[in-house]
Structure 1
């Protein structure tokens, strides 16, 4: 479908010529429980004005039955992506009757059958442009309109959308639900959710406003849904935004639905937010997991204003919503919930994602040049989210908190239910702060790359901060020394404004000097030699968790950049991680350590380091406090480590079958059991019968996905060949099952088993890109990229496929760059 990839230029031309007045969308989902029925009926009536004779509606579906324009039937002109319209008047009404497909990729209207009870569940996911998979529309964010949804569904189902139910009619074993019209919103944030969802209800009130709240999930997960905890964070967020945004929540009710096989963490559909089911914890969960869920809840809630009320004109300004939501998620978590250390998690998890993305050859400015939808799809990255949020944190320090929020309030009032660009926001912030932000925007929003800060001795009580490349920063430099208890505490903090490449400031010798203390700016920080020596001996004596997080971030970035050996980084993790009390930092360390082993160590060094890491994790499980978050985190680390080293395979199996000693207090929930079984499978210590037996204990959606991953992890040539074939030929695999098969194929330390597929990968990916949806194709291209010891195959492909779609080339270039970084780090001695 060559016309499916909409461009910025053509959509801008369309919005200049067409203004949408309203949509009326009828969806017939009564046949959804019939797995043999791949389609549903969709009828859309669009009212719009036009100053052109011709335009088009977007639709991706198997067929369009009829088109009526201004009460007259017209010939159907449909190419598989666009419905051509001509003979337009100043005022038009078009009705499209069509057939759409249920999705198994998480794009459009996704259908899921719960193996636990056989029930069918539906939900929509559209961003950036998949509403057209469900109804005919003008698929671009700047053509806002009110939507009225009418949904026919089986009787007894919950049926939800952006607004409250206006009418409900029951007819035997079916129902028809009509929703109140929405306020003017973009197509990509409309939503329909339907199925026998379990539902809990509450409310939030402030002043004269009462907002009905609800939390929903699949019926088979109801026993695990901690709705009261979700409601608590929701109310805290509503309170904060009501106080700071000065614009009452505009969308009536507030549903939050946890849905299966979700491609994202969540989506900010106004009044009907959808979340991944990973946030419904089937077993034990750490404080870090609860903190991450709270952050996501608050992130999506911020979108009700940044993104839904005021929306970017095109995807170039995606940061106008995502950067703000990412920043607000951390800010509100820290200031309004129990998760007061949220900035620690942000500094280590979110910013690490940004630093990674911003050092790729495909990096881009926060305000990006997005020429089409394929580029937009790949722009939901660490730069748009985490770098943008980091820069906003710096902006707040630059203009002041009061000016920042007053600017936001003016922005909401002036542009409510409209579309904006960068200039609109800067106008308001400049007015409230009294600062000309054009230079700040040029330096931070319209350039790419991350600065690196190093400390130099400038002599006679002075130091210098050298930054490359140079940007304006406002930061603090912390001077840390040991107190009478042997703890490292900040004795002196100096605020410094950086403008040039080299900035001199008054300083004093200290065992540890930490640039960007309090993590105010966005930059990689290098530790000077004395500070590095101090932290390698005494990092656990740094009392402030945010300072520890900054130090760990500095060590990790130096390792990734090939300035600190992976072995040295791993030694620090083994020494200090077991005593790390902050759950977000511990989670990051337990993620980074195995990655460093497999990517940044030379192959000859890996077996010994794998064994050391497994033993460190194994010991920690038995020595940390029984039943603690730390014990659970280390048990998960054991499962990861045991997938590449089978030293403890017998003990792991004994824990699973109940014949061995389980660490006191360890919560051996289904997810942990599957992780351990996958480790055994990947090292050749579990057979299909073992995995079938575990499935009998946990025959759920999660259990079936985990079994698929474990089966593909077995180190047998025939198994790898079967997985490879399924990935490329079984189009019935859902998004989640495709991921599981890819993960199993790659699992374990058996590069020799998958290396024979390298040439097949490069031969197949262009066809995959043309035949699969971008979501499914991206998973294959990224997930199966060969992790060999040479760049030659990827270089050959890039040279031979200069004409390949830009989004596909971007993915290959990025994966090649990751491999190049691995090889540089492995060469460090």
Structure 2
């Protein structure tokens, strides 16, 4: 095992022997604008007690120049990931002088140069274990410390960290900023950002507490920041969580910074939350996109308590922060902001991620068995986030909302600034609710898989709910009638089910929505009568039951129980009438996926042509300037990458002759042009002309994608090799290159590369950072109908790293599902 891949057992031994108190980190970033400078000086001073004579300190960087222990210089014993420290006393001061390396992968200290103005921007991203790329540290969540950061940077830059600056000095065109000491933090949520960021200031006041607020982005994106909207949501969230948790916001200030080439949606660094720039739309955005951003703002804010104030001991209990934050993001959005449809979007879209993940052979309990850091990295998945949030919604129904929040308040009071495990939370919830929360935990948190619940009618007319993998569910069943082409609620029945078969006495209903109100976590099937009803009148339902029906239809299509053609027909009939843009966006993406993955090969071209026409018709029929029009335009652009029959209309939109009111921003322009490129209707010269029009970071990434998408075998081959071999590609540029290789589903152009993939994956995993390796392993996995290639690699590589094998196994399962569902489709008539 690589020394960089820390294990749960060895870190437990280390934290038992070492008590960390304070860490002082000094970073010299003055030369960051010089592209010739690949690294930066970093000096770390750690104060800790020890009960063992030896330990190690984590660091991944360019070099370690000096190690001093209690004032004595020691030989440097460094293997590229660990610095061995020996001869420790009961109390110790260790100073490590080293050189960190600027990142282009989004791990550690990422350096980005804005092509618009040539300015350099830096930010850190650490979770789960990349703080060691910037400072020497004990890289495990249960070794909290008080951190003091000192940063030397160019004089005109914004310099930020978790705390406010306590001292700033200027000298020879540079500045030195020393930040106030933090409260106790784990290494992975410390943070630094530096660069000429644009900043908007505000403040939030509550009783005798005033919190300074900042919203930042690159200068070239300042016009797209929507700072007023972001600040409003931030204030609403601080009001909500202050009341809900009865623990004042503890981190002193609240900066939120939108950064380029970010690997995540956001990260909860206390006092300095980082977000992807994808949340800043360059001109055209739907209200659903703003709602998603609000949800993420509130998700990260919930972490200020769940995760930052109280932190899991090890990554097994990652759910203790992520599941709660995912739940709180939707709950707070619905309760405290104008985005009251948050649970509607969650039901149809976010839970789809959980359902997909939970059906893989690598599924795991929400409370997972995480043996090492590589496994931790891959557990930021649909189970930890979306299933966890779904299950917490069931827990709230089980114990009651007030008991749930009172349990959280006691949990924070008991464990503030410390580390916890599952038992610590269960104690508090059981005390306030009087319910058997441990039994609930065993059923929901400590087991994997999910139930499928369906309504069956016996020959004698008796009806019952049938569930696979039986669990205790508290749910509501909605009974709807169909009258004059519209569905309306007749009755809701609340019940608990626990067995495989539960007789029910439902009134005669045209549509039965199992799990109406979305209280539990299960796949809910529609019976045939209900399916007939939604085919006629799906769009007449209220938003939440409509979301649940869309979800049910999609799950049935994925499982091969609802023919893909019938699913697509329902989408074609009802998506144009879908008023909730969050739902519409998910439905459009699912329809495109179904055509590419679940339709039989010999019918795919016909379905693509039909889908292209449906998107064009809906686009032209949508209200000018509406969110629906923009959503259909994006779907039309995506569909045009597979069928050239509307190329003239695509070109017309690019030339300013599109449907009235359509907001054509740079991102939509690139999507349309890339579609033309993919089907051979645009050239490299067209791409160059568009890049001249939009020579920005996003434009350069899009141009790379478009050029790699050209339907020429040699172009795809060059792009494929570049993805594997060009280590200068940033994370975003690598993904764009991979997207180009796979554009248009052109297996005829890249099928010959399948065997080469399996020759390269092990080496990529060993030699590249885990983020880059993961993009290669997943992004370039062959969509071959021959599973023998995958099985052969798995058989020959049973000793490969577990995290790599997990990714391959998951990709195999996705492919096997595609092949199975295609094979089970009924033959098309005529």
Q: Structure 2 length as normaliser, TM-score?
A: 0.99
2:634–2:668 CA contact under 8 A, matched in 1: yes
- How much does 1:3 deviate? 0.7
- Cα-to-partner distance string for 1:102-161 (whole Å, 9 max, x where unaligned): 000000000000000000000000000000000000000000000000000000100000
Find the counterpart in structure 1 of residue 591 from structure 2.
593
Find the counterpart in structure 2 of residue 380 from structure 1.
380
Find the counterpart in structure 1 of residue 633 from structure 2.
635
2:197–2:219 CA contact under 8 A, matched in 1: yes
Cα distance in 1 for residues equivalent to 2:761 and 2:746: 23
- How much does 1:527 deviate? 0.5
Find the counterpart in structure 2 of residue 695 from structure 1.
691
Find the counterpart in structure 2 of residue 274 from structure 1.
274
In structure 2, relative to structure 1, the CA distance for the partners of 1:460 and 1:760 (3 Å cut) is: closer
Mapped pair 1:392 → 2:392: yes
Cα distance in 1 for residues equivalent to 2:539 and 2:438: 43
Find the counterpart in structure 1 of residue 255 from structure 2.
255
Cα distance in 2 for residues equivalent to 1:645 and 1:489: 39
Cα distance in 1 for residues equivalent to 2:327 and 2:453: 23
SS in 1 for 2:327: helix
- How much does 1:655 deviate? 2.4
SS in 2 for 1:116: coil
- Cα-to-partner distance string for 1:610-639 (whole Å, 9 max, x where unaligned): 011000101111111000000000000011
1:462–1:507 CA contact under 8 A, matched in 2: no
Mark the runs of 5 or more structure 2 residues left unpaired by the alignment.
Answer: none
2:801 paired residue among 797, 800, 805: 805
SS in 1 for 2:745: coil
SS in 2 for 1:748: helix
- Cα-to-partner distance string for 1:13-58 (whole Å, 9 max, x where unaligned): 0000001010000000000000111000000000000100100000
Cα distance in 2 for residues equivalent to 1:234 and 1:502: 46
SS in 2 for 1:466: strand
1:788 paired residue among 784, 790, 802: 784
Find the counterpart in structure 2 of residue 685 from structure 1.
681
1:738 paired residue among 734, 738, 742: 734
- How much does 1:788 deviate? 1.5
Find the counterpart in structure 2 of residue 481 from structure 1.
481
Cα distance in 1 for residues equivalent to 2:654 and 2:242: 49
SS in 2 for 1:274: strand
SS in 1 for 2:644: coil
Find the counterpart in structure 1 of residue 532 from structure 2.
533
Find the counterpart in structure 1 of residue 113 from structure 2.
113
Cα distance in 2 for residues equivalent to 1:200 and 1:552: 40
Cα distance in 2 for residues equivalent to 1:282 and 1:664: 20
Deviates more, 1:532-541 or 1:307-316: 532-541
Cα distance in 1 for residues equivalent to 2:717 and 2:485: 57
- Cα-to-partner distance string for 1:688-710 (whole Å, 9 max, x where unaligned): 11000001110000000000000
Deviates more, 1:461-470 or 1:31-40: 461-470
2:812 paired residue among 812, 816, 828: 816
- How much does 1:718 deviate? 1.4
Cα distance in 1 for residues equivalent to 2:385 and 2:602: 37
- How much does 1:506 deviate? 2.3
- How much does 1:462 deviate? 5.6
Mapped pair 1:671 → 2:662: no
2:821 paired residue among 818, 825, 828: 825
- RMSD across aligned positions (CA): 1.0
Mapped pair 1:126 → 2:122: no
- Cα-to-partner distance string for 1:166-225 (whole Å, 9 max, x where unaligned): 000000210000000000010000000000000000011111111000000000000111
Find the counterpart in structure 2 of residue 499 from structure 1.
498
Find the counterpart in structure 2 of residue 61 from structure 1.
61
- How much does 1:541 deviate? 2.0
1:564 paired residue among 559, 562, 565: 562
In structure 2, relative to structure 1, the CA distance for the partners of 1:467 and 1:409 (3 Å cut) is: same
2:482–2:533 CA contact under 8 A, matched in 1: no
- How much does 1:654 deviate? 2.7
Cα distance in 1 for residues equivalent to 2:340 and 2:99: 49
2:485–2:536 CA contact under 8 A, matched in 1: no
- How much does 1:750 deviate? 1.5
SS in 2 for 1:481: strand
In structure 2, relative to structure 1, the CA distance for the partners of 1:462 and 1:415 (3 Å cut) is: farther
May I ask how many residue pairs the two structures share in their alignment? 825
- Cα-to-partner distance string for 1:465-485 (whole Å, 9 max, x where unaligned): 1111011110001100135x6
- Cα-to-partner distance string for 1:772-820 (whole Å, 9 max, x where unaligned): 0000000000000001212111011000111100000000000000000
Find the counterpart in structure 1 of residue 414 from structure 2.
414
Q: Counterparts in 2 of 1:540-551, with a 5 A limit?
A: 540-542=539-541, 544-551=542-549
Cα distance in 1 for residues equivalent to 2:201 and 2:11: 40
Mapped pair 1:370 → 2:370: yes
Cα distance in 1 for residues equivalent to 2:163 and 2:15: 26
- Cα-to-partner distance string for 1:730-786 (whole Å, 9 max, x where unaligned): 100000000000001100131100101101001000000000000000000000000
- How much does 1:496 deviate? 1.0
2:24–2:44 CA contact under 8 A, matched in 1: yes
- Cα-to-partner distance string for 1:368-412 (whole Å, 9 max, x where unaligned): 000000000000000000000000000000000010000000000
